[in-house]
Amino acid sequence: MTTLLLIAKEPLPGKAKTRLHPPLTLDQSAELAAACIADTVDATATLPATRRVLLFAGERTPAGTEQFEVMGQSGGGLDERLADAFDALDGPTLLIGMDTPQLTAAMLTPVFAEWPDDVDAWFGPADDGGFWALGLREPRGDLVRGVEMSTDATGAEQLARLHAAGLTVAMLPPLLDVDTIDDARAVAASAPHTRFARLLAEFEWEGRLIA
């Protein structure tokens, strides 16, 4: 079976989702970051993960993550932090982030079933050129370490790294990360049932969010 590895940071004003400011305030941005985490935890709650690990930066873990083992993020860039986490785990492992509150359990069901013999990795591309999910049958930090993160070529570089290592990769559906206010509105429209969408609608309705 598969370990679920969720990377997140404490949703503090001025630290989380800062690219939503403006038009959101820093407090609103942090509230939406917290909603992202809550929606992601809800979406994965029914998956038959053998372990649930929260790769966390911060002091107070988010509500709803009580069933997760907490692993502190190491130092260095994002590639180093992800690589160190993969090196610390064994067995099939799926990494996901906190930036896709539209995620559903159905999208991840194949990863939490018996992995096909011919699948070594799972890859979920993000619409901005990055990736939102990375699953490895045998977690190895060297498959991530050195990949330049947060660029519009990150996903392509990471996928090329997997192929260069001789891995057979199965694809997950592409998703839009929430980075900007336009992203937030698009994600909310696609998943109106989420905490994230309801909270964004509340900001809009109250006139607190400038168009």
Question: What local confidence, expressed as pLDDT, does residue 205 receive?
Answer: 76
The domain locations on the chain are: 3-205
In this model, does residue 74 exceed pLDDT 70?
yes
In this model, does residue 72 exceed pLDDT 70?
yes
Question: What local confidence, expressed as pLDDT, does residue 204 receive?
Answer: 83
* 98 phi/psi in degrees, rounded to 5: -105, 15
Question: What local confidence, expressed as pLDDT, does residue 207 receive?
Answer: 62
In this model, does residue 208 exceed pLDDT 60?
no
Question: What local confidence, expressed as pLDDT, does residue 118 receive?
Answer: 96
Cα(33)–Cα(16) distance, rounded to whole angstroms? Answer: 6
> What is the pLDDT averaged over residues 104-116?
96
pLDDT in tens, 25-41: 999 999 999 999 999 99
In this model, does residue 211 exceed pLDDT 70?
no
pLDDT band at 46 (very low <50, low <70, confident <90, very high): very high
CA geometry: angle 104, 179, 142, nearest 5 deg:
75
> What is the pLDDT averaged over residues 149-155?
97
pLDDT band at 47 (very low <50, low <70, confident <90, very high): very high
What residue spans of 90-173 are helical by DSSP H? 105-108, 154-164
Q: Domain 3-205: which CATH class?
A: alpha beta
- Strand order of the β-sheet with 121-125 is 69-72, 51-57, 3-9, 93-96, 131-136, 121-125, 169-171
Residue with token string 């996903």? 155
pTM attached to this predicted model: 0.96
